[in-house]
Structure 1
Amino acid sequence: MKLFTTVGIFSKQDGEAVQSTLETLYDFLVTQGLKVLMSTHAAHLLNSTATADEELAKQIDLAIVVGGDGSLLTAGRLLAAHQVPIVGVNLGRVGFLVDVLPAQMLEQITAILNGDYLEDERCLLKACAWRGEDKLGENIALNDVVLHARNKVRMIEFTTYIDGFFVNTQRADGLVISTPTGSTAYALSSGGPILHTSLEASILVPISPHTLTSRPIVIPNQSLIEIEMGNDRPVEALLSFDGHHDIPLVSGDQIKIIASPKKMRLLHPRHYDYYHILRSKLHWGTQL
């Protein structure tokens, strides 16, 4: 009996390497007797019929993403609610999440189809923004939720509470609230620590804070994070989710962030080594 019967293909938007890889992947999956559905970008590159995202998520039992980490983040936010496992084929630049190389794609996907893989569950964050009693919007993020100034190079002021306890009021360019997955992204470049992806934790990393004593803090991801925009510095701000889906904010608005109840399921080849990924992508040990 097959573990997977219907596969969804997702991809980045363009590139000859993407199209060639998609063609090879599609032909292979069809020869394995699998039903194959495609997202809009993948279908466009293969001159085929696309399936709407929500319908695709409901029908497939395995997703293969051809592209970079950004492509997988987009697919992951869609598929987490449906608990569809994802395999990433790396045609991007960094590749912390997409770890199947095109040259080894058919061999490694064959093994995964036969049940020879490692499964990795990744936490997501859910955030909503409020203006008084009015909800401005909500979304989920696999990497990070980021509060930052809008259109101006100016600091914003905000107050942070964790589980109802006052933490601090600070002025900074913003704040990164990151999952362990996102700890190697914006949070890392802002001075945050790397967290192993198996940890049930979140990181709060201030962006260019206006005090030397402001430091990142790691908390349990089931903690409720509440942020209130200050009134003393009326600078417009944005709340972003993995760099997208911005929610405009003004003084007095409130943000509530907590772990999403659903996790993303990520499948790796059997030889997957998280520390090798870190060494390779961050160039640890490279002689300068």
Structure 2
Amino acid sequence: MSYPLPLKTVALIGRQDSPEVADSIVALSGFFQSRGVRVLVETETAIEVSQLSGSAATAGAECGDFASIGATVDLAVVVGGDGTLLHAARQLGRFNIPLVGINQGRLGFMTDIARSNMLEAMSLLMDGKFTPEDRLLLDTEVVFGGASAQWEPLANVAFNDVVIDKGATGRMIEFELRVDDEFIYSARADGLIICTPTGSTAYALSANGPILHPKLGGIALVPLCPHALSNRPITLPDTACIEVRLVQGANARAHFDGQETVDLMPGDGVRLKKSPHRIKLLHPPSYSYFAMLRQKLHWSEGPSIRPGLVVNAPCAKSD
């Protein structure tokens, strides 16, 4: 399924403090303007590009904040690593703006276009050759004070994961887990990761969580170093409403996509459910989720042999 876009306005968003990103933003701005497309550069990105590349580097382009981008553009091109795309997705999720990622980071699970051929890829995009993929987004709520106190909700969203952990201390926390208002278990652990399929290849993967295909409607719960070895990862349907309430742990924290952090005290809780909004990623024609996993996770690689090391050499016989 291709995704033809009548592109009238494109937003450019980039990681800051990077000359390579600034150069890419300048090149992309020139490319789209040469095709008759209006270019809107995210405000902080525009300031950084101007400082690194000169005030006239994006001549002909406009700048605007995320609210302006969400209200006016047809597509956002994000230049950087997965963290940059996460930030853009969190800001633009409620606007249902399609995102394209150009990788200038390290792993790039979501930014799947290399900088070396980004203009060729943008030509394919303009020709309607990209494929859309919808990703799950979580609506979250931090609730302070417990049931006996007045609720003071703090709303947030998560594209990758929500992590509840012990914070700066070396002691475990204790928490209770409820799903659809049913008590599931109480646990003592370093924390708990609640992740989307997108986030299953992030922090949750390093904690031995399952890899969830993006088309799978699921939410994974992955304990961090649980005191009871019977506490194992579990995958829930994306229709589940999840609540984690802190029982013990004076320095606990809740982290949203590793970009927002909230301090928690006993009695505080975090609620999560599927957002009515989805993140739409656009992939080039050559994109394959499994090929990406093979490349990023080094599947099917042969043994690594150091120079000068002889493998399976016959043992020398003594006389």
TM range (shorter): over 0.9
Amino acid at match of 2:24: T
Moved more, 100-109 or 169-178: 100-109
| Offset from partner CA, 1:65-118 (integer Å, 9 cap, x none) | 000000000111111211110110110101010011112111111111221111
| Alignment equivalent of 1:187, drawn from 171, 184, 204 | 204
TM-score by length of 2: 0.86
Task: Confirm or deny: 8 A CA contact 1:128 1:135 kept in the other structure.
Answer: no
CA distance in 2, matches of 1:183, 1:274: 13
The answer on whether the counterparts of 1:12 and 1:41 sit within 8 Å (CA) in structure 2 is no
1:134 and 1:283, CA in 2 relative to 1: closer, same or farther beyond 3 A?
Answer: same
Cα distance in 2 between the residues matched to 1:36 and 1:241: 30
Moved over 4 A (4+): none
Q: Which moved more, 1:132-141 or 1:171-180?
A: 132-141
1:205 maps onto 2:222 in alignment:
yes
Match runs of 1:40-59 below 5 Å: 40-47=43-50, 50-59=63-72
| Equivalent AA in structure 2 for residue 9 of structure 1 | L
Which residues in structure 2 correspond to 1:1-288 (within 5 Å)?
3-47=6-50, 50-131=63-144, 132-230=149-247, 233-286=248-301, 287-288=303-304
Q: Distance in 2 between matches of 1:50 and 1:192?
A: 40
- Aligned-pair RMSD on alpha carbons? 1.4
CA apart distance, 1:42: 2.4
1:241 Cα offset (Å): 0.6
TM-score normalised over the length of structure 1: 0.96
Question: CA shift at 1:151, angstroms?
Answer: 2.1
For structure 2, the residue ranges without an aligned partner over 5 or more in a row are 51-57, 305-319
Q: State the distance in 2 between where 1:153 and 1:193 align.
A: 26
Deviation of 1:234 (Å): 4.0
Q: Indicate the structure (1 or 2) with the bigger Cα radius of gyration.
A: 2
CA contact (8 A) 2:177 2:184 kept: yes
Q: 1:2–1:217: structure 2 CA closer, same or farther, 3 Å change rule? A: closer
Secondary structure at the aligned position of 1:257 is classed as strand
Structure 1: which 5+ runs fail to align? none
**Amino acid paired to 1:240:** H
Distance in 2 of aligned mates of 1:124 and 1:220: 13
Structure 2 vs 1, CA of residues 130 and 276 (structure 1 numbering), >3 Å: closer, same or farther?
same
Q: Which amino acid aligns with 1:125?
A: L
